[in-house]
Chains A and B, each alone.
Chain A
Amino acid sequence: MIRLERVSKIYESGGKKVEAVKDVSLHIKKGDIFGIIGFSGAGKSTLLRLVNLLERPTKGNIIVDNYDLNSISSKDLRQLRRKIGMIFQTFNLFNSRTVYGNIAYPLKLEKKSKEEIHQRVTELLQFVGLEDKADKFPEQLSGGQKQRVGIARALATSPDILLCDEATSALDPETTNEILNLLKKVNEEFNITILLITHEMNVIRKICNRVAVMENGRIIEEGEVFNIFSNPQEKTTKNFISSVVNEKLSSSLLEKLRKDHERKLYRIVFSGDTASQPILSTLTAKHNIHFNIIYGSINELQNQLFGNLIVEFIGADSQIEEVLKELTEIVEVREVTNGES
């Protein structure tokens, strides 16, 4: 659906060069909800805007819907853009048009008849749940409602692809969840491929099936969301993950835990099937020792569970050794040291 091959983008302004995207290759398949996460300035927006050629690549090839963007004519490009919807952090609605007018605009560009426009807009208003707001102007809407209009407008021409530039970053957590659910529905009901960028791992966790982590213009890690969450390689990735799975304990909490528990502490990371099996209790029972959960969190990821426990074991040292050995074969186990919190 979308393929980037060794794409670079260099901005030149006032004699200074900024390489915003460096040698990025990506393949986004039809039906994916593909997330790109990175800190501010990582080059995410630039990368996203390359896909509908709001920015031209300095190097590399971009293929979208079988069009090679390096050789596309401006007429074909306008045609292609009608098949790529886009929503924005700041919504970018037309302030001079009503909600109805905003959603109708892309259809007017396609020279659709009044009746066709009316039917499609009504359908979309219903889909995003804003039937009663048709005649309101953007300034009369809340942030969440504005983004719903943005989504309806982006869907008007029945696109194959939806690009989302930090679509929920200006919204509160509750509204963010509503909009994410709506995007999920867009993906499932219309089979629209979604490419989104964000700096919030929560967004990735909630709706993406694939994720790429971007840093300084490069993709440093990429894969299935579940795999990345359960086995992150890069430090930046780990930081993002810990922001949602509470993996990191604050040093004050760790200190307090240590004071109350003199034994060694172990972190056990469950993922997928292992999270739903009574592994700990089975093993400790088998070796006749006890365990005590000091801290834990379980998250749902792509319909799979992802757990994270800090435990201490109570019993004979030799038995504990045995349990640890067997555990290591099934799940990830690390001793919690002072350096690692």
Chain B
Amino acid sequence: MKVDWTTFWPRILQATGETITMVIFTLIFASILGIIMGLLLFATRKGNILENRFIFSFLNLLINIIRPIPFIIFLVAISPLTRFVVGTTIGTTAAIFPMTIAAAFAIARVVENNLVSIDPGIIEAAKAMGASPIQIIFGVLIPEALGPLILGITFITVGLIDFSAMAGTVGGGGLGDLAMTYGYQRFDTSVMIVTVVILIILVQIAQFIGNMLSRFFLRR
């Protein structure tokens, strides 16, 4: 069975828009949550500026539990919570919730890893100048780690495009949904190819923007 391309292009356009929406909103929410968690994770670590064993162990455990769950399973497992928060489990908005949660934990680790690699001497220098923990977090930790942090978040963004395709298959819409319903279930290779090409282009764009931003902050 062949699709009618004149009516199909608008659908592709719409699906692309849905994918971009899912990725961008997820990225915004997950970055906020992930950066906060990552900073807390780092700052509460033993010997660091806000050392707190309880918060650290709790966050660490939570991340270690959620991170290894395959996204497609996480998506289904978390659906009662999604319904509770968003009101439904179907549609683009509903897909953003589980994507945000999963990505936030990944970003938290990326943030933590990048902060750990900052020379402790630099933090100590700021401390010796009388900087408060908050001033150290915003004036030293974030700026010092920003370049590699952006690369890490770019990597996750690319992963989000992948997540969005999966979320699509369970009713999230977007390119993944399109590829599945037309390309996979109706054996229409041309639709498959078009969606794949668009996905590749999206990934390239995300990577390009990420590289550019990180280069700007790394000045290399």
Contacts and interface: CB of A to CB of B under 8 A. Distances in A.
Interface of A: 52, 54, 77-82, 84, 86, 88, 90, 92-97, 105-106, 108-109, 137, 153, 157, 163
B219 A92 contact: no
B130 A81 contact: yes
Interface stretch (B31-39, B139-147, B179-187): B139-147
B129 interface: yes
A96 B130 CA distance: 19
Contact of B128 (A52, A79, A94, A97): A52
B129 to A, nearest CB: 5
B122 A109 contact: no
Q: Number of contact residues on B: which range applies?
A: 20 to 34
B130 A79 contact: yes
Contact of A86 (B119, B125, B140, B147): B125
A96 B128 contact: no
Given A90-B119, A92-B119, A96-B146, A84 B128 contact: yes
13 contacts: A78-B132, A79-B130, A80-B130, A82-B130, A92-B121, A93-B122, A94-B144, A105-B129, A106-B129, A108-B139, A109-B129, A109-B130, A163-B128
B131 interface: yes
A94 B140 contact: yes
Interface in B163-183: none
A152 to B, nearest CB: 13
B25 interface: no
Contacts of B219: 137
A33 to B, nearest CB: 19
Interface of B: 119, 121-122, 124-132, 135, 139-140, 143-144, 146-147, 217, 219
Contact of A90 (B121, B132, B144): B121
Sorted from nearest, which 10 A-B pairs have the closest CB atoms? A81-B130, A78-B130, A92-B125, A92-B121, A96-B143, A86-B128, A82-B130, A106-B129, A96-B144, A92-B122
Most buried by B among A79, A80, A96, A106: A96
Nearest to B128: A86
A20 to B, nearest CB: 15
A264 B119 CA distance: 58
Nearest to A156: B129
Contact of A88 (B125, B129, B131, B139): B125
Contact of B143 (A81, A84, A97, A157): A97
A189 B217 CA distance: 38
Nearest to A88: B121
Nearest to B120: A92
Contacts of B139: 105, 108-109
Contacts of A105: 126, 129, 139
B129 A92 contact: no
Most buried by B among A90, A92, A93, A137: A92
B128 A81 contact: yes
A54 B130 contact: no
A132 to B, nearest CB: 19
Contact of B144 (A77, A84, A88, A95): A95
Contacts of B124: 54, 92
Contacts of B146: 96
B140 to A, nearest CB: 7
Contact of A94 (B130, B132, B143): B143
Contacts of B135: 109
